[in-house]
Chain A
Amino acid sequence: GAVVSQHPSRVICKSGTSVKIECRSLDFQATTMFWYRQFPKQSLMLMATSNEGSKATYEQGVEKDKFLINHASLTLSTLTVTSAHPEDSSFYICSPRDRAGVGLEAFFGQGTRLTVV
């Protein structure tokens, strides 16, 4: 399977600060990146979709100014949680997809557990 590297795996930050999460696809070109969020004991919910070189599309209820997504290259996408608050504490997972179309296996990063104190 494809190799997806997501960092950091865990981060604790103070309320009001910003946190950047990186997601790298190491052996294929990620033309699309999906970012998911998982609150404790809940399922994964899609936050946003970004295509390389374009602005991200956010799901309803997700603040685009709080969750900044950069997808400037085919191998790297970043999610920055700005002015983090305790309610942003969650598990964030990236999922890069290549241009081969639907139906291929979805790969996921290892996830980042964010704790805002």
Chain B
Amino acid sequence: AQSVTQPDIHITVSEGASLELRCNYSYGATPYLFWYVQSPGQGLQLLLKYFSGDTLVQGIKGFEAEFKRSQSSFNLRKPSVHWSDAAEYFCAVEAGRRALTFGSGTRLQVQP
């Protein structure tokens, strides 16, 4: 069965600093990969997705992610974090059964 690991439970960065959130997956083939953001008490918003093709994916709000097959990773990056980026971030994979398997999430805190 597929699994998703987000090793960082909580990350704090200063506003304007760069950000990288890690995501590793386990699956026999190349899965479909997603990053979602969730603000407190809210639903999920899709930031970006990777299905195939270019391994560097651009998303909304200035986010990007890079799929690295050799490392089974799909890390999320942003060059300059804004205070409004503070939220919970989930990496997810879809691997055949069409339901998503989510990582445990990374809570991002942004310091002024």
Could you tell me which A residues sit within 8 Å of B by CB distance? 1, 6, 32, 34, 42-46, 49, 93, 95, 97, 102-103, 105-106, 108-111, 113
What residues on B are CB-neighbors of A46 within 8 Å?
99-101
- State the Cβ distance, B63 to closest chain A Cβ, in Å: 16
**CB-CB under 8 A for A43 and B102, given A93-B43, A111-B42:** yes
The distance from the CB of A39 to the nearest CB of chain B, in whole angstroms, is 12
Residue pair A110, B43 in contact (C-beta under 8 Å):
yes
Given known contacts A43-B103, A106-B34, A97 and B98 CB-to-CB distance under 8 angstroms: yes
- Taking the closest CB of chain A, its distance from the CB of B93, in whole angstroms, is 11
One of A32, A93, A106, A108 near B94 (C-beta < 8 A): A106
In angstroms, how far is the closest chain A Cβ from the Cβ of B65? 15
CA distance A95 to B28 in the complex (A): 25
Residues of B bordering A, CB below 8 Å: 32, 34, 41-44, 46, 49, 51, 90, 92, 94, 96-105
Of B32, B51, B90, the residue contacting A43 (CB under 8 A) is: B90
Give, as a whole number of angstroms, the nearest-CB distance from B100 to chain A: 6
Once A110-B43, A113-B41 are accepted as A-B contacts, the answer to whether A102 and B94 lie under 8 Å apart by CB is yes
> Bound complex: CA of A95 vs CA of B46, how far in Å?
13
- Given known contacts A43-B105, A44-B102, A102-B32, A108 and B49 CB-to-CB distance under 8 angstroms: no
Can you report 26 A-B residue pairs in the complex whose CB atoms are below 8 A from each other?
A6-B43, A32-B98, A34-B98, A34-B99, A42-B104, A42-B105, A43-B90, A43-B102, A43-B103, A43-B104, A44-B44, A46-B101, A49-B97, A93-B43, A95-B99, A102-B96, A103-B32, A103-B51, A103-B94, A106-B46, A106-B92, A106-B94, A106-B100, A108-B44, A110-B42, A111-B44
Alpha-carbon separation in the docked complex, A109 to B94 (Å): 18
**A105 in contact with B49 (CB, 8 Å):** yes
Residues in A whose Cβ lies below 8 Å from that of B42: 110-111
- Complexed CA–CA distance, A97 and B34 (Å): 15
Q: A34-B98, A43-B104, A43-B105 are in contact. List 10 more A-B contacts (CB 8 A).
A: A34-B99, A44-B90, A49-B97, A93-B43, A93-B44, A95-B99, A102-B94, A106-B34, A106-B100, A109-B43
